[in-house]
A and B are shown apart, each in its own frame.
Chain A
C-alpha cells in the first residue's frame, strides 16, 4: 500500500516535471520565434499575408474631428489600399462652383474609379469625349481577369493626335487611338504615373518583387523601376530606383523604410526635367528625373545616365504624391498627411531653402483629405488644380486660396452605388486648334464606359 502510494507520488512528480519542462520548452521556442524568427515564424507570417483581407471591411468616413493623430494612426491612414471609391456619395450637381472670370479655361481630362474610362470634360461638366478599354482585350494572357485593378485606369495621358496612354495598375500600359482602338499594350507591373517627354519618349513607373539580401531583409521587397519606352511601346531601358539610392550618398534614406513593408519606396510620381531651370542648379539639368517616394516621404532627383540619386529632400510632408518642379524653381506636391492629422494640403516650397512659398489645406474653409493618392497641377494663369482623390473631388484655387471651380465625381461605385468614385488625377488641357473633338450628343460624365451605360451617372 505504502509502496503503491509512493509510486503514485513519484509518477505524479515525474509527470509534473515533464509537463513543466514541456511548457518551458514550448515557451522558449515561442520566445525564439519572435526573437530569431525560428520555424514556423515565416510560414505563419506568409500564411497571414495570403489570408489577410486585402481591403478594409468598411471604408473610412470623412473625419469630422481634426484632432492631431498619433503617428501610428496617421501611418495607418497612409497605408489604405486602393479602392474604386472611399466616401459615401452626397447628392448634388457635378460642378459645384464655377467662377468664369477667375478659373482657367480648358478641358478636364480625368480617370475615375468606376470604370476603365478616360473622360474629357468641359468646364461646365459636359463630356466632350471618352476613351475606354477592356483590360482583358489589352492583356489577353488572362492576367486581367484576376486583377482588381483591371476595373479602372490609374493614370491617363492625352497625346497631340488625340490618342491616349492609359495605365492599368499592376497590369500594363495601353495606347488607344482617338476611337479607343488598342494600338499597343505593354504587359508590365506598371503603377501610378507616366510621363511623356518632348520627343515622345515615355517614362513609366513599374515594380517587381524580389529578395533583397543586400538590404538585410528576410522578406522580399517591391523594387520600383523607371521604364523608358519608345513611342511604339518598346521597352528601351529599366532603371532601378533602389539601386539608384544605394549608389548615391542618399542611401541612408533607404534604411528608414519600415522593415515590415514590402513596398519599401512606393514611387508614385515621375517627371522628366526639361532643363529650363538648369541655370539655377545643375541638379535640374535636362533629362534628370524628379520622382516622389511615398514610403520614405522623399522627393528625389535621379540622374538616368549615372543611375544614381543626385538630390533628395524630406521633412515637411508625409505620404506625399504628385511632385513637380514649377517654372519658378519651386517644388509643388500633394502632401497627404504631413499635418499629422486627418487633413491633406498642397505645398509649394523652395527646394533649397525649404521655405514654404504657398500652401492650400489645413486651414478653416480649406478642408481637404485624401489619405492616399491625390494630384496637383499649376495652371497657366497661376491657379492650382487639386485632385482630392479619395473624395472624388477636384478644385481649382487661386493664389489667394479662393475656390473658383469645384467638381465632384457624379460616378458611383460600391454596393447600391452609394460611394463616390475615386478620381486619381485630373489635368486641365488647354484647347488648341490642332485638337478638336466633335461633341457627342447627350453625353454625361463618364457615360463612355460599357459598365456605366446602364447606370444613370448623374444624380
Chain B
C-alpha cells in the first residue's frame, strides 16, 4: 500500500471516529434532554437496585442538649436524602418541653408515618386512644403497586368523628371511615391526597387527583388534575370540581404560567371550607367557598364551588407552602416551607387583603424550624400556635411572643441505631371533653408512642 493512500485512510478513520464521537455526544445530550432510548430503561434499572423503603422516615435531628440543632446542623441535614440516614441519633422521643401555665390544655391527635395508626395522646405523652386500619381490608381486591405500596403503610390525614371514630386518608388509595373500635364503616376508592375538611352538615370535602391529557395546556404529556370532591357522610361522591378548570375559568388563569414542568402541576395540599364569618371583609370569603393551598404555584386560592371558579388568589411572601387556613380574626395562617429561600421554614400569619405580615415564627435565632415538605400549623383557642415540623417528626406549641410552651418529638424510630424518625404529617389539638371518652375506657398502652 502506498504511503499516500495509507495516510488518507488514516485521515478517514480519524474523521470517522471524530464524527461518531460527536454524534454520540449529541445523542447522549438528547438522551437526557428528550428522554431518548435508553433513558427510561436506565432509570428503571437503577430503581430496581434501589428499592424504595416503605413508610416515611427522616434522619432524626441530633440532640445538642437544649433542643433542636444549630442552624449549620439544620442546613447540613437539609441536604441529606430523605429516607436514608447513617448517623446515630442521640435525641430521645416523647415530650421534650411542657409549660403548664403557657400551653393550651387538650389532647393531641396525630398521624405518624411508621404505621397506619392515628393516635390520641394527652399533654404528658400518654396515649389515650388509637385507631388503625389496613388497605387490604378497606379496599379488598385493590392491588398495591408502585408508590401505593408505600402509601398503604400510613395514614396521610385523620380527623375525629363525633361518634369516636375517625376519617382517614390513605394517600392515592382512598378514604376510610372507622368507628370507635377501628371497624371499617365505609371505604371510598379515590385518588385522595393530603387533606380533607368536614363541614357543619357532615359533608366531607376531599382533595383528589387524576392523570389527564390537557392538549391546549400541555400538548404532549399528561398532567395531574387536582379536584375538590364532595363526599356524603355515608361515603358517596356527590360532586367533583376540577381545580384546573376552576383556574382556567377565572381571571386568575394566568397564574397557571407558574406551573412547574412536572406532571404534578398544583400539588394541592390543604382545604378549608369557609364558614362565612369573614364574608363582610371580602365577598370571596363567603360561606361555602373553599380555601386551598397550591405549593407548586406558591399560591393560596379561594374556590367558589357553585360556579367552579377561582374567585381569589394570593402569592408572593411564601414558597412551597402547606396548611393554609383563614383564622376567625380574618388573617391567613400557613406553614411556609421554603419562603426564606434557605434551609429554614417558618409559619406566617398574613392579613390577606393588605398582605401585611402580622406574625411569624421561624427563621430567627432560637427558632429553628425546617420541613422541606409537608408541615402543618393551627391556631389554638388560647392564641398559641401548634406547629408540626413534619420531616423531623417534631411538634411545638409556641406562644404569641415566640416561647415554646410544649414540644413533642416522635418516639417512633427505625434503623439499626434508631437514627430515623417517622414523619408526623399533622397534629391537631382537640378538647378533653370528647363524648366517647366519658365511659372511662382509656387505652393507656400499645399505641404509637410505645412502639
Contact A314/B316 with A283-B354, A337-B254 known, Cβ cut-off 8 Å: yes
Indicate if A431 sits at the interface (CB-CB under 8 A): no
Cα distance A315–B32 in the bound complex, in angstroms: 33
Chain B residues near A316: list those with CB within 8 A.
251-252, 254
Bound state CA distance, A28 and B26, in angstroms? 10
A34 CB within 8 Å of chain B:
yes
Binds B, one of A167-175, A348-356, A416-424: A348-356
Q: Is A253 an interface residue (CB 8 A)?
A: yes
**Residues 12 to 35 of chain B near chain A (Cβ within 8 Å):** 17, 20-33
CB of B218 within 8 A of chain A? Answer: yes
Of B21, B318, B357, which is in contact with the most chain A CB atoms at under 10 Å from its CB? Answer: B21
Asked if residues B24 and A30 are in contact (CB atoms below 8 Å), the reply is yes
How distant is A412 from chain B, measured CB to nearest CB, in Å? 34
User: Once the chains bind, are A70 and B252 in contact (CB under 8 Å)?
Assistant: no
A250 touches B252 (CB 8 A): no
Docked complex: A17-58 residues within 8 A CB-CB of B: 19, 22-35
A339 at the interface (CB under 8 A from B): yes
Is the pair B217, A30 in contact by a Cβ cutoff of 8 Å? no
- Knowing A251-B341, A314-B315 are in contact, say whether A75-B28 is a contact too (CB < 8 A): no
Does A68 interact with chain B (Cβ within 8 Å)?
yes
Contact between chains at A354 and B254 (CB < 8 Å): no
- Bound form: Cα–Cα A30–B33 in Å: 10
In-complex Cβ contact of A70 among B25, B218, B314, B316 (8 A): B218
- Whether, in the assembled complex, B282 has its beta carbon less than 8 Å from a beta carbon of chain A, the answer is yes
Cα(A298)–Cα(B355), bound, Å: 14
Contact among B24, B255, B256, B314 for A22, CB-based, below 8 A: B24
> What is the chain A residue whose CB lies nearest that of B17?
A22
Cβ of A380 within 8 Å of any chain B Cβ, yes or no, is: no
Q: How far is the CA of A23 from the CA of B354 in the complex (A)?
A: 60
Contact of B319 among A252, A281, A339 (CB under 8 A): A252
Q: Which residues does chain A contribute within 8 Å of B217, judged by CB atoms?
A: 70-71
**A30/B30 in contact, CB under 8 A:** yes
Q: How large is the interface on B (under 10, 10 to 19, 20 to 34, 35 or more residues)?
A: 35 or more
Q: How far is the CA of A255 from the CA of B137 in the complex (A)?
A: 45
B317 within 8 A of A: yes
For residue A35, which residues in chain B have a CB less than 8 angstroms away from its CB?
A: 32
> With A and B bound together, what is the CA distance between A443 and B319 in angstroms?
57
Q: Is A28 a contact partner of B28 (Cβ separation < 8 A)?
A: yes
Kindly report which residue of chain B lies nearest to residue A34, judged by CB atoms. B32
| A331–B31 CA distance with the chains assembled, in angstroms | 48
A26-B341 contact, Cβ under 8 Å, with A71-B256, A297-B257, A353-B282: no
B298 CB–A CB distance under 8 Å: yes
B313 touches A315 (CB 8 A): yes
> Measured between C-beta atoms, what is the minimum distance from A63 to chain B in Å?
15
> With A255-B319, A316-B251, A338-B253 in contact, do A26 and B298 touch (Cβ < 8 Å)?
no
Q: Which chain A residue shows the least CB distance to B341?
A: A251
Of the candidates A26, A250, A355, A356, which one forms a contact with B317 in the assembled complex, judged by CB atoms under 8 Å apart?
A: A250
Cα-based distance from A32 to B28 in the complex (angstroms):
8
A313 close to B354 (CB less than 8 A): no
The yes or no answer to A186 lying at the interface (CB within 8 A) is no
For residue A298, which residues in chain B have a CB less than 8 angstroms away from its CB?
316
Contact of B27 among A19, A30, A253, A353 (CB under 8 A): A30
Q: Does B186 contact A (CB under 8 A)?
A: no
The answer on a CB contact under 8 Å between A33 and B25 is yes
The answer to whether B31 and A352 have CB atoms under 8 Å apart is: no
Among A71, A250, A255, the most chain B Cβ lie within 10 Å of the Cβ of A71
Within 8 A of B (CB), among A63-102: 67-71, 74-75
Q: Which residue of B lies closest to A317 (CB)?
A: B254
Tell me the bound Cα distance from A33 to B299 in angstroms.
34
Chain A 228-261 near chain B by CB (<8 Å), digits 1 or 0 = 0000000000000000000001111101100000
Which of A30, A32, A311 counts the most B-chain CB atoms under 10 A from its CB? Answer: A30
Task: Give A353-411 interface residues, CB cut-off 8 Å to B.
Answer: 353-356
Instruction: Choose one: B21, B28, B257, B299; the contact of A71 (CB below 8 Å).
Output: B257
Contact A311/B355 with A71-B257, A316-B252 known, Cβ cut-off 8 Å? yes
- Residues of chain B lying within 8 A (CB to CB) of residue A318: 254, 257
CB distance from A182 to the nearest CB of B (A): 42
Q: Determine whether A178 belongs to the interface, using a CB cutoff of 8 Å to chain B.
A: no
Residue of B nearest to A309 (CB): B316
Cβ–Cβ < 8 Å partners of B318 in chain A: 252
Q: Number of A residues whose C-beta is below 8 Å from B?
A: 50
Interface: B437 (CB within 8 A)? no
- Are A31 and B29 neighbours in the complex by a CB distance under 8 Å? yes
Judge whether B339 and A256 touch: CB under 8 Å.
Answer: no
* Any A CB within 8 A of the CB of B433: no
For A355, the chain B residues whose CB sits under 8 A away are: 283
Residue of A27, A317, A318, A356 with most partner-chain B CB within 10 A: A27
Q: How far is the CB of B75 from chain A (nearest CB, A)?
A: 15
List A contacts of B25 (CB < 8 A). Answer: 26-27, 29-30, 33
Confirm or deny: B353 has a beta carbon within 8 angstroms of a beta carbon on chain A. Answer: yes
Q: Which of B26, B314, B316 contacts A252 (CB 8 A)?
A: B316
Contact, CB under 8 Å: B254 / A315: yes
Who on chain A is nearest to B27 by CB? A27
Which residues of the partner chain A approach B298 to less than 8 Å between Cβ atoms? 252, 256
How close is A339's CB to chain B, nearest CB, in angstroms?
7
Cβ of B259 under 8 Å from chain A: yes
Instruction: Check B140 for interface membership: any CB of A closer than 8 A.
Output: no
B21 near A356 with CB under 8 A, answer no
Q: Which residue of B lies closest to A281 (CB)?
A: B354
From the candidates A25, A67, A312, A337, name the one contacting B316 in the complex (CB within 8 A).
Answer: A312
* Distance from B292 Cβ to chain A, minimum over Cβ atoms (Å): 14
A34-B29, A297-B254, A353-B353 known; A253-B316 Cβ under 8 A: yes
Chain A, residues 268-305, CB within 8 Å of chain B (1/0): the string is 00000000000001010000000000000110000000
Given A31-B28, A33-B28, the answer on whether A23 and B21 have CB atoms closer than 8 Å is yes
A22 pairs with B20, CB closer than 8 A: yes
In Å, the complex CA distance between A249 and B218 comes to: 32
Contact yes or no, B354 A75, CB < 8 A: no
A340 at the interface (CB under 8 A from B): yes
B219 part of interface (Cβ distance < 8 Å): yes
Q: Which residues of A contact B29 (CB under 8 A)?
A: 30-31, 33-34
Kindly state the separation between the CA atoms of A312 and B318 in the bound complex, as whole angstroms.
12
Q: How far is the CA of A248 from the CA of B208 in the complex (A)?
A: 35
Q: Which positions in B face A, CB cutoff 8 Å?
A: 17, 20-33, 216-219, 248, 251-259, 282-284, 298-299, 312-319, 338-341, 353-355, 357
Residues of A within 8 A of B (CB): 19, 22-35, 67-71, 74-75, 249-253, 255-256, 281, 283, 297-298, 311-318, 337-340, 352-356
16 contacts between A and B (CB under 8 A): A22-B20, A22-B24, A23-B20, A30-B29, A34-B28, A34-B33, A35-B32, A297-B257, A314-B316, A318-B254, A338-B251, A352-B353, A354-B312, A354-B313, A354-B314, A355-B283
Instruction: Sort A-B residue pairs by CB-CB distance and give the 10 closest, nearest first.
Output: A30-B28, A26-B24, A27-B28, A318-B254, A34-B32, A30-B29, A30-B25, A252-B319, A352-B353, A23-B24
